[in-house]
C-alpha cells in the first residue's frame, strides 16, 4: 500500500512545476504530491501549475477538474531581477533560492541566472534593501503539446537542481562540522602548550583569516554564461571604483 502511494506521488510530482515555492501550503512539490496521493490535499492548490496543471492531475487520478479556490490570483510566468545599484551582497537571497538560480558571494553583487529562475518569489522577502523585483516573461507562440513537453522538461531539470541544492547544503553542514572540530582540536592543543609565543598564535590566526577571505567565491558561477560572468565583472569593477572615490583624500577625476 505504501509503495503504491509513493509511486503515485512520484507521478504526481512529475506533473507539478517544481517551483518549490510553498504556495500550495507544503514545503515543496514532493510533499504536496505525497499529500495528494494520500488524499490529504486537493489537486487545486498549485497556482504556478495553472488550470492546465489541475487538469493533468485530474486526468491522472481519474477525478473531476476542480478550479482554484476563490481569491487565488494566477500570475504570469516571471523571472526575478536584482537591481545592481541597491544590492549589498548580503547573500540572503542565495540562501532562500530553492534551485540555486542566484550567483554571488558575501559583499559582492548578486545576479539572477534567468534561465534557471522558476519565479517562486522566495528571494523577495529576505532582501533587506528591496532590490529584487519580478519581471513577466514574454509570451511564446507554441503548440499546446510542445508547450506541455517543454514545461515538463523544465520541471525535470528544476527538480534535479533542487535535489542538488539539498545535497550541497548537507555537504556544507558536514564540512562546517569538520572545520569546527579541527578548530576545537587546535584550541585544545594551544591550551596544552602555555609556553607558545602569543605573537605566533596571533599571526597564525591572521593567516587563517586571510586564507578564509581568499577562499570566498561566488556561488553558482558554474551556471553563468560567459556574457553573464563578464557583466558581473564589469559591475564589480564599477562598484570598486565608486568605493575608491569615496575614500578620504581621493579627488574625483575632472569630467
CATH of the domain at 39: 1.10.15.40
Report the distance separating Cα 84 and Cα 19, nearest Å: 25
Q: Per the domain annotation, does 191 fall within a domain?
A: no
Among the listed residues 186, 192, 189, the one whose alpha carbon sits nearest the alpha carbon of residue 205:
186
**Domains contained in the chain, number:** 1
Residue whose C-alpha cell is 602555555: 194
Give the separation between CA 88 and CA 237, rounded to whole angstroms.
Answer: 15
Please determine, for residue 254, whether its predicted confidence score (pLDDT) is greater than 60. Answer: no
Between 10 and 181, residue with greater pLDDT: 10
- 37 in any annotated domain: yes
SS3 state at 253? coil
In this model, does residue 197 exceed pLDDT 70?
no
For residue 209, being part of any structural domain is answered with no
Asked if the structure places residue 184 within a domain, the reply is no
CA-closest candidate to residue 121, choices 133, 129, 112: 133
Burial class, 225, CB count within 10 angstroms (exposed 0-12 / middle 13-18 / buried 19+): exposed
Is residue 252 in some structural domain?
no
Question: Per-residue pLDDT tens for 135-161?
Answer: 998 876 555 666 777 788 888 888 988
Q: Is residue 45 part of a domain?
A: yes
Determine the distance from the C-alpha atom of residue 175 to the mean position of all C-alpha atoms in its chain, rounded to a whole number.
20
Residue span of the structural domain in which 50 resides: 2-61
Sign of CA dihedral 27, 86, 250, 238: positive
| 158-193 per-position pLDDT tens digit | 898 898 888 988 988 898 888 888 888 877 766 665
Question: Is 16 within the bounds of a domain?
Answer: yes
Amino acid at each position: 500500500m505504501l509503495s503504491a502511494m509513493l509511486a503515485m506521488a512520484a507521478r504526481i510530482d512529475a506533473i507539478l512545476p517544481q517551483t518549490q515555492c510553498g504556495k500550495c501550503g507544503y514545503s515543496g512539490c514532493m510533499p504536496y504530491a505525497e499529500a495528494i496521493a494520500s488524499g490529504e490535499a486537493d489537486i487545486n492548490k498549485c497556482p504556478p501549475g495553472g488550470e492546465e496543471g489541475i487538469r493533468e492531475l485530474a486526468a491522472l487520478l481519474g477525478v473531476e477538474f476542480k478550479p482554484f479556490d476563490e481569491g487565488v490570483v494566477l500570475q504570469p510566468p516571471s523571472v526575478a531581477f536584482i537591481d545592481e545599484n541597491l544590492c549589498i551582497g548580503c547573500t540572503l537571497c542565495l540562501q532562500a533560492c530553492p534551485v540555486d538560480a542566484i550567483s554571488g558571494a558575501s559583499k559582492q553583487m548578486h545576479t539572477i541566472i534567468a534561465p534557471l529562475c522558476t519565479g517562486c518569489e522566495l528571494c523577495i522577502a529576505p532582501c533587506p534593501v528591496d532590490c529584487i523585483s519580478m519581471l513577466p516573461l514574454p509570451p511564446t507562440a507554441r503548440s499546446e503539446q510542445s508547450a506541455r513537453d517543454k514545461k515538463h522538461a523544465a520541471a525535470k531539470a528544476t527538480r534535479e537542481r533542487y535535489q542538488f541544492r539539498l545535497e550541497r547544503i548537507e555537504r556544507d553542514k558536514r564540512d562546517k562540522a569538520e572545520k569546527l572540530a579541527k578548530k576545537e582540536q587546535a584550541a585544545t592543543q594551544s591550551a596544552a602548550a602555555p609556553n607558545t609565543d602569543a605573537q605566533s598564535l596571533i599571526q597564525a590566526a591572521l593567516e587563517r583569516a586571510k586564507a578564509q577571505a581568499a577562499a570566498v567565491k561566488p556561488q553558482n558561477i558554474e551556471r553563468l554564461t560567459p556574457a553573464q560572468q563578464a557583466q558581473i565583472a564589469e559591475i564589480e569593477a564599477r562598484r570598486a571604483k565608486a568605493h575608491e572615490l569615496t575614500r578620504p583624500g581621493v579627488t574625483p577625476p575632472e569630467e
